[in-house]
Amino acid sequence: MANFRPDVVVNCAAWTDVDAAEGSPEACVAVNADAVRVLAASCNELNATLVQVSTDYVYGVRENHVTPYSENDVAGPVNVYGASKLAGEEAASQARKHLTIRTSGLYAANDHGPVRGRNFADTMLCLAADKRLVKIVNDQHCTPSFIPHVADGILNLLHNKSNGLFHVVNNGSTTWYEFAHELFQTAGIDMTTQGITTDEYPTAAPRPRFSLLNTNKFVASTGYSLPHWRTGIAEYIESMKPYLLRMERVA
């Protein structure tokens, strides 16, 4: 930091294995909160802006909540990862100039094709290589967001010299089941999708049933809203076309 003297530090580093975090809470907090406190102090010394990428998983504890959360709503996570990211937000707020960006279900394409486990969209494409039926959770409401759109949103906030906490996600709401269905359709992949409940897909860490984020504050600050989540899928599939064509040839 001292050698590079950045104007802006975008902290994308995090412990992101939500299930493994349940068994290693201290290590998770070290990366997601303690390290952010060090970054914030360093940003203050250099008068740099700290951009902390956070998550919709800071919500979820209010099980009956059914309207998109705004930045003023009290957070309450349901798992260790969410709690560590909430502590990371508090740490980031110690930077004089900081932007904390809550986003959700991040995915993006890359030149080498999808990698299983890298993100949900990649994992779905990988499953299509050897499966004709996938069962996907249909009762977790969120807005998976295309990373280039979120990155644009962050740049816009920085250009506007915005400060504080912002929700930055693609427009609209969906479930993982509906998202996967749209993904396969857009890619022209013949896949049967079956919606299941969270209870039918047990994981080490509980997930929020509802983590939709209201982006009115972002829209008011930047004058635009991110594209719809279906547009994110369309752009992702367009970028993955070379891989999808190779897959067709193998089939």
Ligand X SMILES: NC(=O)c1ccc[n+]([C@@H]2O[C@H](COP(=O)([O-])OP(=O)(O)OC[C@H]3O[C@@H](n4cnc5c(N)ncnc54)[C@H](OP(=O)(O)O)[C@@H]3O)[C@@H](O)[C@H]2O)c1
- Which is closer to ligand X, CB of 34 or CB of 247? 34
* Contact positions with ligand X (CB under 6 A) in 72-131: 85, 103-106, 119
Q: E strands of 38-183, at which residues?
A: 49-55, 97-103, 106-107, 133-137, 141-142, 145-146, 164-167, 174-175
> Which residues are annotated as catalytic?
81
Question: Which of 142, 125, 154, 146 has its CA nearest to residue 214?
Answer: 142
The yes or no reply on residue 143 touching ligand X (CB under 6 A) is no
Q: How far is CA 35 from CA 15, 17, 135, 167, in A?
A: 11, 17, 37, 22
- Which is closer to ligand X, CB of 52 or CB of 222? 52
Secondary structure tally for the chain: helices H, strands E = 10, 10
Q: Which amino acid is at 174?
A: T
The yes or no reply on residue 208 touching ligand X (CB under 6 A) is no
The yes or no reply on residue 31 touching ligand X (CB under 6 A) is yes
Considering only 49, 55, 140, 170, the residue that binds ligand X (CB under 6 A) is 55
Considering only 29, 53, 80, 213, the residue that binds ligand X (CB under 6 A) is 53
Count of residues of this chain found to bind ligand X when the rule CB under 6 A is applied: 14
Quick check: 60 and 140 in contact, CB under 8 A? no
The yes or no reply on residue 33 touching ligand X (CB under 6 A) is no
- Which is closer to ligand X, CB of 31 or CB of 247? 31
The yes or no reply on residue 151 touching ligand X (CB under 6 A) is no
Minimal distance in Å, beta carbon 169 to ligand X? 9
Quick check: 59 and 208 in contact, CB under 8 A? yes
Q: What is the dihedral of CA 195, 199, 203, 206, to 10 degrees?
A: 110
The yes or no reply on residue 207 touching ligand X (CB under 6 A) is no
| Interface contacts to ligand X, rule CB under 6 A | 12-16, 31, 53, 55, 85, 103-106, 119
